[in-house]
Amino acid sequence: MKFRAIMGALCAAGLMCGVSAVQAAESVEVLHWWTSGGESKAVGVLKDDMQKQGYTWKDFAVAGGAGAAAMTALKTQVISGNAPTAAQIKGPLIQEWAQQGVLVNIDSAATDWKKNLPPEIDKIMHADGHYVAAPFSVHRVNWLYINKAALDKVGGKVPTTWPEFFAVADKMKAAGIMPVAMGGQPWQDLTLWEDVVLSQGADFYKKALVDLDQKTLTSDKMLQVFDTVRKIQGYFDSGRTGRDWNLATAMVINGKAGMQFMGDWAKGEFANANKKPGSDYICAAVPGTEKAYTFNVDSFVFFQQKGQSAATPGQLALAKTIMSPAFQEQFSLYKGSIPVRLGVSMAKFDDCAKKSYADEQTAIKSGGYVPSLAHGMAQPDATAGAITDVVTKFMNSSQDSKSAVEALAKAAKTK
């Protein structure tokens, strides 16, 4: 048999198809929780890029905002010896997985990353001095989205303080518009609560949620945080139990509700519905947080594959693609975030993304750039989970602020 014929036969048998075709045979299984309209479009860019490079994309999407369900599925997969090629993991959880000895380093795909990433983010992508994670983009969490027509209808102005916020909410209520669209999962409760913590100042936020300082956690200001959250709850509808974040966003998009507290993945939904900032909706910093910025950086980690000691070509291609300037731009345009890679042009981005970028630069300089607790950037999983339980219990009962503060201080000691 001639060489070509042999190769053809092997290839037909699915064994060996020449160098580029060998790559074509590698399938990359990718575990993520990007399932809403905007999120799917964004992850679709990665899928297309990988397919263009000859890889087969095996989608392992586990629905559920902020990834709690995805993280449970991931643990089962890894324990049963079926680790995916890559998984959406972020913040301190990257280290926790690296300590299990199940990740591969992707240094050879990351030769120019150091100079192209903000130092605090570059650090998070490392374990034991090696790159083990690839960053997608920067989401700002402390946003308030407002339906423009609803605001205009009640003659309200964009609130910059809590009294102004309650004034607008009262006007909306009086006009028969549901003031605040709220979803009903623990992470959504924590997202709102950390916004209110931030409104007491970035230093307060850092002392409370990054340093877990007991004095700050039990302070009068923390009592006020719970009181304010309780007051905001008075503007929710009664149907929020189990509601997904994107359904709450849809209520603001279609004018059923006036406002939503949510990170800027919500902007991906507005964009997907062809809504424009300024004319259809407004993105404003959460009242009292204009100068601060809670960051949330999505990333993928790469699991050691059966029979492989190092990263596979598919894993390195994924990492390279994620950090490439063209991907960084298109992904964030769909996702609502801003590129994490430094120097990517913001020309094609909308005014909300431009504001996010400008506010990020200001916050980094002023010390107002803080990691989001609700989105896995500030604390190890166990601590974040214990605090989430306290906040969720408070928001789903009639518990008083004082006993919630006591429970919070105790939960913060969870390791």
Q: How far is the CB of 245 from ligand BGC (least distance, A)?
A: 6
Distance CA 384, CA 173 (A): 34
Q: Fill in the per-residue mask, 72 to 111: x = in contact with ligand BGC (CB under 6 A), - = not in contact.
A: ----------------------------------------
- Nearer to ligand BGC (CB atom), residue 131 or residue 245: 245
Can residue 264 be called a binding residue for ligand BGC (CB under 6 A)?
no
Q: CB-based burial of residue 81 (10 Å sphere; 0-12 exposed, 13-18 middle, 19+ buried)?
A: exposed
Within 8 A by CB and 6+ apart from 10, the residues are 16, 17
What is the total residue count of the chain? 415
Question: For residues 374-403, which are near ligand BGC according to CB under 6 A?
Answer: 375
Q: How far is the CB of 9 from ligand BGC (least distance, A)?
A: 45
Can residue 265 be called a binding residue for ligand BGC (CB under 6 A)?
yes
Question: Quick one: which of 249, 289, 296, 330 contacts ligand BGC (CB under 6 A)?
Answer: 296
- Nearer to ligand BGC (CB atom), residue 377 or residue 386: 377
DSSP per-residue codes, 204-250: HHIIIIIS--HHHHTSHHHHHHHHHHHHHHTTS-TT-TT--HHHHHH
Quote the Cα angle for 402-404-406, to 5°. Answer: 75
Q: Fill in the per-residue mask, 163 to 192: x = in contact with ligand BGC (CB under 6 A), - = not in contact.
A: ------------------------------
Helix (H) or strand (E) holding 127: strand 126-127
Question: For residues 338-367, which are near ligand BGC according to CB under 6 A?
Answer: none
Return the bridge partners of 366, or none: none
Total number of residues that touch ligand BGC (CB under 6 A)? 11
- Nearer to ligand BGC (CB atom), residue 6 or residue 63: 63
Question: Quick one: which of 33, 204, 205, 293 contacts ligand BGC (CB under 6 A)?
Answer: 33
Residue 272's nearest CA partner among 185, 335, 217, 323 is 335
Q: Fill in the per-residue mask, 107 to 146: x = in contact with ligand BGC (CB under 6 A), - = not in contact.
A: --------------------------------x-------
- Nearer to ligand BGC (CB atom), residue 236 or residue 300: 300
Residue 90's nearest CA partner among 132, 40, 151, 37 is 132
- Nearer to ligand BGC (CB atom), residue 33 or residue 97: 33
Q: How far is the CB of 67 from ligand BGC (least distance, A)?
A: 6
- Nearer to ligand BGC (CB atom), residue 240 or residue 375: 375
Q: How far is the CB of 276 from ligand BGC (least distance, A)?
A: 21
Whole-number Cα distances in Å, 406 to 37, 216, 388 = 40, 12, 14
> Does residue 50 sit in helix, strand or coil?
helix
Residue 360's nearest CA partner among 296, 298, 292, 297 is 292
- Nearer to ligand BGC (CB atom), residue 88 or residue 321: 88
Distance CA 286, CA 193 (A): 11
Q: Fill in the per-residue mask, 3 to 32: x = in contact with ligand BGC (CB under 6 A), - = not in contact.
A: ------------------------------
Distance CA 283, CA 247 (A): 18
Can residue 293 be called a binding residue for ligand BGC (CB under 6 A)?
no
- Nearer to ligand BGC (CB atom), residue 204 or residue 265: 265
Q: Are strands 143-147 and 257-261 parallel, antiparallel or unpaired?
A: antiparallel
Look up tokens 């896995």; give the residue. Answer: 376
- Cα dihedral 146, 148, 149, 152, rounded to 10, equals 100
- Give me the residue whose beta carbon is nearest to ligand BGC: 265
- Nearer to ligand BGC (CB atom), residue 66 or residue 384: 66
- Nearer to ligand BGC (CB atom), residue 39 or residue 194: 39
Can residue 298 be called a binding residue for ligand BGC (CB under 6 A)?
yes
Question: For residues 34-73, which are near ligand BGC according to CB under 6 A?
Answer: 39, 65-67
Token representation of residue 270 = 């507005």
Residues that bind ligand BGC (CB under 6 A): 33, 39, 65-67, 139, 245, 265, 296, 298, 375
